[in-house]
Amino acid sequence: MSAPVTPPVTVAPAVRIDGARRTLPDGRPLFADLDLEVREGAFFVLLGPSGSGKSTLLRVLAGLDQLDDGTVDLAAVSEADGAGRVRPSVAMVFQDPLLYPWLTVRENVALGSRFRSTRERHGHSDLQEMLEHFRLDHLADAYPDELSGGQAQRVAVMRAVGVRPRLLLLDEPFSALDPATRADLQQWLAGVVAELGTTTILVTHDVDEAITLGGRIGLLSGSGVVDRVWTDVDRAREGSARTALRTEILSEYRR
């Protein structure tokens, strides 16, 4: 079930990072020589101790931050825009839902969405259908200050998914929620991503969340490399296999 390094990927990966190096302003290395591959359609979870650089890595993939050296290949998740420029098709969700307070849920979700392509690919006739399909229609006319934390984060995920990204990046989106809401949203997210087939990378501290959602789990070590990747996690979600995987990940985490 586990492998010492990122296992080889036979088809072209959706995301490929080679030799990533990033040094902090104080000279401390964050990544020294980080490699990572994520398959198309995969749900990859990145675990790692606080300060190991998980958020920075996601920000690099989102184009919000840069490496000092190394390459990031997102060609497999890039698309031509209206002007014919080929660009990575990426959306990101943060710990804070960052909804526009003066817009309703419907208006927040609609921001930047390309619902024509959504209709073509998934049969949702319009925004309303999409809201209904993903259980947000009862909140469509509410404003963000009328939402619970869980509802707001559901809207944030839907807004990101609504642009039909080829790559969805989730940076601890559920960490501020209570355990019951968090479990509910994990199930909801698993359904949304499975239905849309979007390549997803989730950053979390929570080993149980990683096992519940991930197909693969990578551990970003304090020394700035992904030194363990667990594959076929979906086969170890239940019973004693789950307990064994959890124990193994936690012991690596603490090393």
Ligand X SMILES: Nc1ncnc2c1ncn2[C@@H]1O[C@H](COP(=O)(O)OP(=O)(O)OP(=O)(O)O)[C@@H](O)[C@H]1O
Binding mask 180-219 toward ligand X (x if CB under 6 A, else -) reads -------------------------x--------------
Nearest distance, CB of residue 165 and ligand X, angstroms: 21
Nearer to ligand X, 27 or 239 (CB): 27
The reply on whether position 63 binds ligand X by CB under 6 A is no
Nearer to ligand X, 31 or 115 (CB): 31
Give the separation between CA 61 and CA 88, rounded to whole angstroms.
Answer: 9
Nearest distance, CB of residue 16 and ligand X, angstroms: 20
* Stretch of residues binding ligand X (CB under 6 A), selected from 23-31, 126-134, 138-146, 180-188: 23-31
Q: Do the beta carbons of residue 74 and residue 168 sit within 8 Å?
A: no
Q: Do the beta carbons of residue 177 and residue 223 sit within 8 Å?
A: no
Phi-psi region of 21 (alpha: psi -120 to 50; beta: other; left: phi over 0): beta
Which residue do the tokens 């990578």 mark? 218
* Stretch of residues binding ligand X (CB under 6 A), selected from 2-10, 52-60, 136-144, 243-251: 52-60
The reply on whether position 55 binds ligand X by CB under 6 A is yes
Instruction: Please give the structure tokens belonging to residue 169.
Output: 């990046």
CB neighbours of 230 closer than 8 A, spacing ≥ 6? Answer: 1, 2, 3, 214, 216, 217, 218, 245, 248, 249
Which residue do the tokens 């989106």 mark? 173
The reply on whether position 27 binds ligand X by CB under 6 A is no
The reply on whether position 52 binds ligand X by CB under 6 A is yes
* Stretch of residues binding ligand X (CB under 6 A), selected from 22-30, 98-106, 125-133, 189-197: 22-30
Which residue do the tokens 């807004």 mark? 159
The reply on whether position 225 binds ligand X by CB under 6 A is no
The reply on whether position 64 binds ligand X by CB under 6 A is no
Nearest distance, CB of residue 38 and ligand X, angstroms: 17
The reply on whether position 50 binds ligand X by CB under 6 A is yes
Q: Which of 30, 61, 167, 233 binds ligand X (CB under 6 A)?
A: 30
Q: Which of 51, 63, 191, 222 binds ligand X (CB under 6 A)?
A: 51
Q: Which of 15, 45, 56, 202 binds ligand X (CB under 6 A)?
A: 56
Nearer to ligand X, 12 or 98 (CB): 98
Nearer to ligand X, 51 or 112 (CB): 51
Binding site for ligand X (CB under 6 A): 24-25, 30, 48, 50-56, 205
